[in-house]
Amino acid sequence: MNECSSPVNKDQFKVNTKSITIRTADGSTLSGKVNIGEKERVSDVFTKTDNPFVVLFDAASAHGCGRVFFINKSHIVWVEPED
């Protein structure tokens, strides 16, 4: 086991996934899930956090399915929740 690793306490993270579609500035469209955690709305992930990236997982794009993307928020044109 790696000495730098510490066990992850699964109770410290709340998982609350929402399906969304994202259009990026280069015209790409990605569909997948984001974890909104303890936030109330999908929009809170984009407006109420300082992190410049959004993690989209179980994602589908022109390049395949089941992928994970780290998307820079400044490159997002729009987001559509799939509720």
Is the residue at 74 inside a domain?
yes
pLDDT tens readout for residues 25-68: 999 999 999 999 999 999 999 999 899 999 999 999 888 999 99
Q: How far apart are CA 37 and CA 16, in angstroms?
A: 5
Q: How far apart are CA 69 and CA 61, in angstroms?
A: 10
DSSP 3-state of 45: helix
Domain count across the chain:
1
pTM: 0.80
Predicted confidence band of residue 1 (pLDDT cuts 50, 70, 90): very low
The CATH number of whichever domain residue 20 belongs to comes to: 2.30.30.100
Contacts of 17 (CB under 8 A, 6+ apart): 33, 34, 35, 36
What is the extent of the structural domain holding 53?
14-81
Determine the pLDDT at residue 13: 78
